[in-house]
Protein backbone atom coordinates (compact mmCIF):
# COMPACT_ATOMS: atom_id res chain seq x y z
CA UNK A 1 0.00 0.00 0.00
CA UNK A 2 1.74 3.13 -1.17
CA UNK A 3 1.10 6.80 -0.56
CA UNK A 4 2.98 9.55 -2.40
CA UNK A 5 4.87 10.42 0.78
CA UNK A 6 5.01 7.10 2.59
CA UNK A 7 5.02 3.40 1.92
CA UNK A 8 2.60 2.06 4.49
CA UNK A 9 2.86 -1.62 3.73
CA UNK A 10 5.24 -3.52 1.55
CA UNK A 11 5.25 -7.15 0.51
CA UNK A 12 2.98 -8.09 3.35
CA UNK A 13 1.46 -11.56 3.32
CA UNK A 14 -2.21 -11.18 4.09
CA UNK A 15 -5.27 -13.35 4.08
CA UNK A 16 -8.00 -10.93 3.15
CA UNK A 17 -8.39 -7.25 2.39
CA UNK A 18 -11.74 -5.49 2.62
CA UNK A 19 -12.05 -2.37 0.51
CA UNK A 20 -14.63 0.31 0.05
CA UNK A 21 -14.82 0.86 -3.68
CA UNK A 22 -16.87 3.17 -5.86
CA UNK A 23 -18.55 0.10 -7.30
CA UNK A 24 -19.31 -1.23 -3.83
CA UNK A 25 -17.61 -2.85 -0.91
CA UNK A 26 -15.60 -5.92 -1.64
CA UNK A 27 -13.33 -8.36 0.06
CA UNK A 28 -10.25 -9.63 -1.72
CA UNK A 29 -8.71 -12.98 -0.95
CA UNK A 30 -5.63 -14.57 -2.45
CA UNK A 31 -6.08 -15.61 -6.07
CA UNK A 32 -8.95 -13.21 -6.46
CA UNK A 33 -9.79 -12.38 -10.07
CA UNK A 34 -7.54 -9.50 -11.21
CA UNK A 35 -9.52 -6.32 -10.82
CA UNK A 36 -9.02 -2.60 -10.81
CA UNK A 37 -11.16 -0.70 -8.34
CA UNK A 38 -11.40 2.97 -7.59
CA UNK A 39 -11.53 3.52 -3.84
CA UNK A 40 -14.05 5.70 -2.06
CA UNK A 41 -13.00 7.49 1.12
CA UNK A 42 -13.39 4.68 3.59
CA UNK A 43 -11.83 1.97 5.63
CA UNK A 44 -9.45 -0.66 4.31
CA UNK A 45 -9.40 -3.68 6.56
CA UNK A 46 -6.30 -5.82 6.22
CA UNK A 47 -6.50 -9.24 7.79
CA UNK A 48 -3.28 -11.14 8.17
CA UNK A 49 -2.11 -13.98 10.37
CA UNK A 50 -0.55 -11.40 12.67
CA UNK A 51 -3.87 -9.62 13.19
CA UNK A 52 -6.15 -7.11 11.52
CA UNK A 53 -5.23 -3.53 10.67
CA UNK A 54 -7.69 -0.88 9.65
CA UNK A 55 -6.70 2.19 7.70
CA UNK A 56 -8.89 5.04 6.62
CA UNK A 57 -7.95 6.08 3.09
CA UNK A 58 -8.92 9.27 1.36
CA UNK A 59 -9.24 7.65 -2.03
CA UNK A 60 -7.13 6.02 -4.71
CA UNK A 61 -6.99 2.78 -6.60
CA UNK A 62 -6.68 -0.84 -5.63
CA UNK A 63 -5.38 -3.17 -8.29
CA UNK A 64 -5.39 -6.93 -7.93
CA UNK A 65 -2.81 -8.46 -10.23
CA UNK A 66 -2.80 -11.93 -11.76
CA UNK A 67 0.22 -12.84 -9.64
CA UNK A 68 -1.92 -12.43 -6.52
CA UNK A 69 -0.28 -9.14 -5.60
CA UNK A 70 -2.70 -6.46 -4.46
CA UNK A 71 -1.40 -2.96 -5.08
CA UNK A 72 -3.06 -0.04 -3.39
CA UNK A 73 -2.20 3.52 -4.33
CA UNK A 74 -3.85 6.00 -2.00
CA UNK A 75 -3.26 9.65 -1.35
CA UNK A 76 -3.62 9.60 2.41
CA UNK A 77 -4.10 6.76 4.85
CA UNK A 78 -4.35 6.81 8.59
CA UNK A 79 -5.05 4.28 11.29
CA UNK A 80 -8.48 4.87 12.78
CA UNK A 81 -6.97 5.41 16.24
CA UNK A 82 -5.08 8.42 14.93
CA UNK A 83 -8.17 10.29 13.82
CA UNK A 84 -9.79 12.89 16.07
CA UNK A 85 -13.56 12.49 16.17
CA UNK A 86 -14.13 16.05 17.32
CA UNK A 87 -12.19 17.50 14.41
CA UNK A 88 -14.16 15.28 12.04
CA UNK A 89 -17.50 16.50 13.40
CA UNK A 90 -16.56 20.18 13.23
CA UNK A 91 -15.03 19.85 9.75
CA UNK A 92 -18.11 18.01 8.53
CA UNK A 93 -20.35 20.84 9.71
CA UNK A 94 -18.04 23.33 8.03
CA UNK A 95 -18.07 21.54 4.68
CA UNK A 96 -21.82 21.07 4.77
CA UNK A 97 -22.17 24.80 5.30
CA UNK A 98 -19.78 25.47 2.43
CA UNK A 99 -21.68 23.09 0.17
CA UNK A 100 -24.99 24.82 0.78
CA UNK A 101 -23.55 28.33 0.43
CA UNK A 102 -21.42 27.60 -2.60
CA UNK A 103 -21.90 30.05 -5.42
CA UNK A 104 -20.23 28.27 -8.32
CA UNK A 105 -20.06 24.71 -9.53
CA UNK A 106 -16.45 24.09 -8.65
CA UNK A 107 -16.72 25.19 -5.03
CA UNK A 108 -19.90 23.18 -4.71
CA UNK A 109 -18.23 20.06 -6.10
CA UNK A 110 -15.18 20.50 -3.89
CA UNK A 111 -17.36 20.98 -0.82
CA UNK A 112 -19.45 17.94 -1.76
CA UNK A 113 -16.29 15.84 -1.93
CA UNK A 114 -15.29 17.10 1.51
CA UNK A 115 -18.72 16.27 2.91
CA UNK A 116 -18.48 12.74 1.52
CA UNK A 117 -15.07 12.34 3.09
CA UNK A 118 -16.10 13.51 6.53
CA UNK A 119 -19.30 11.47 6.51
CA UNK A 120 -17.27 8.40 5.63
CA UNK A 121 -14.82 9.24 8.42
CA UNK A 122 -17.62 9.59 10.90
CA UNK A 123 -19.25 6.29 9.98
CA UNK A 124 -15.87 4.57 10.11
CA UNK A 125 -15.16 5.92 13.56
CA UNK A 126 -18.62 5.04 14.86
CA UNK A 127 -18.37 1.54 13.40
CA UNK A 128 -15.11 1.05 15.22
CA UNK A 129 -16.46 2.14 18.55
CA UNK A 130 -19.54 -0.07 18.20
CB of 71 to other proteins, least distance (A): 5
> Residue 4, interface with other proteins (CB under 8 A)?
yes
CB of 34 to other proteins, least distance (A): 4
Question: CA dist 55 to 45, 82, 112, Å?
Answer: 7, 10, 22
Range 88-127, binding other proteins (CB under 8 A): none
CB of 107 to other proteins, least distance (A): 17
> Residue 78, interface with other proteins (CB under 8 A)?
no
Range 18-77, binding other proteins (CB under 8 A): 22-23, 33-38, 60-61, 63-67, 69, 71, 73, 75
Integer Cα distance of 71 and 65 in angstroms: 8
- What is the number of residues in the chain? 130
CB 42 within 8 A of CB 120: yes
CB 101 within 8 A of CB 111: no
Mention every residue, 6+ apart, whose C-beta is less than 8 A from residue 129: none
Task: Give the footprint of other proteins on this chain (CB under 8 A).
Answer: 2-7, 10, 22-23, 33-38, 60-61, 63-67, 69, 71, 73, 75
Amino acid sequence: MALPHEIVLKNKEVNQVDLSAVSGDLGILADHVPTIEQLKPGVIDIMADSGAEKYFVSGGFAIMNPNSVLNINAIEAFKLEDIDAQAVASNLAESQRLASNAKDEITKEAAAIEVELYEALQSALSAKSK
